[in-house]
Amino acid sequence: MNTFKTHIKKTKLKGLLILMLASMAACTEYIDMEPATYKKVLIVDATITNEHKQHRVKLSTTKMIDEVDYPRISDALVAVSFNDTTIHFYENDTLPGYYYSDSVFAGVPYTNYRLSISQIDINSDGISETYTAEATMPATLSIDSVTYTYIPEWEATALNCWALDPPERNYYNFRAWKNDTLVTDSIYEFQTTDDLMFNGNYINGVDCQYFNDEKEDEWVQNNDVLTLEIENIDLAYFNYINTAISGYYGYNPMFGGLPSNLTGNISNGAMGIFRVYTRNKASVTVSGLQRENK
């Protein structure tokens, strides 16, 4: 009986090995795939804020894999309209693809802004195309004060915000400055949140941004001036930032979807974002910080 059982086990093991080898062979089989067709698409990077200044629209296109930079789009007709006003944007003489408003103005909360881009032919079919987007500027979050807290276990300095959240639904993006340098200058360093947990209430020293000791430009020491910049953004830009951050750090391979292009708010199949938001800042000077110097 034991000999019979051993024979059965060996037979099953042999069959399993054959199946495994066959599976491995199948995995190494070459499959011919047709290369994807390259499609040139407009990329829009446009911003209107509550700051009194010239605002900017940047136009470029997707690029081939062997191209170093994204091709810029010149000679476009660019305008932003709101209420009964239309402001035209003109291309900078030395920066191709960069368009600046012909006048200085500040965006106004609760105002709807409409972006129009025309007189360009991205797909080279001889027909001029028009691209549009619109966004409404949210309220301004007035910051009462900013404090900082050193977190030894994280080896980081947190910026804490004290402010009253406006009553409507809001979405925030937090950025950090050290002295005169913006240290969160890449989108994957942004910190975003909605106000679901504190809508219409007072924000009591919530951690909003962090300075990491391991990064040279974020090393904080006494007499440094730390500034928290709060952007009250709309839902479209909120989703755009979070999708970009997820793409940078990677998706869950088992439960998440496949990486994809960022979904913005530009019409006609264009990529990018027309962001309209209010910006506010508050600063604190570091003193009495206790930890080892770098």
pLDDT tens for residues 33-65?
555 566 889 999 999 999 999 999 999 998 766
Q: How far is the C-alpha of 100 from the C-alpha of 26, rounded, in Å?
A: 57
Greatest CA separation found in the chain?
A: 96
In this structure, what are the phi and psi dihedrals at residue 248, rounded to the nearest 5 degrees? -70, -45
- Domains of the chain from N-terminus onward: 42-136 (2.60.40), 143-260+279-285 (2.60.40)
What is the pLDDT confidence band of residue 21, given thresholds at 50, 70 and 90?
A: very low
Residue 277's pLDDT is 98
For residues 200 and 62, give the distance between their C-alpha atoms in angstroms, rounded to a whole number.
41
Stretch among 22-26, 107-111, 144-148 having the lowest mean pLDDT: 22-26
Residue 101 has pLDDT above 70, yes or no: yes
Q: How far apart are CA 91 and CA 84, in angstroms?
A: 24
Q: What is the structure's pLDDT at 10?
A: 41
Question: What is the reported pLDDT for 44?
Answer: 97
Q: Is 53 left (phi over 0), alpha (psi -120 to 50) or beta?
A: beta
Nearest Cα neighbor of 177 from 285, 56, 53, 287 is 285
Q: pLDDT averaged over the chain? A: 86
The residues with which 171 forms a beta bridge, in sequence order, are: 194, 233
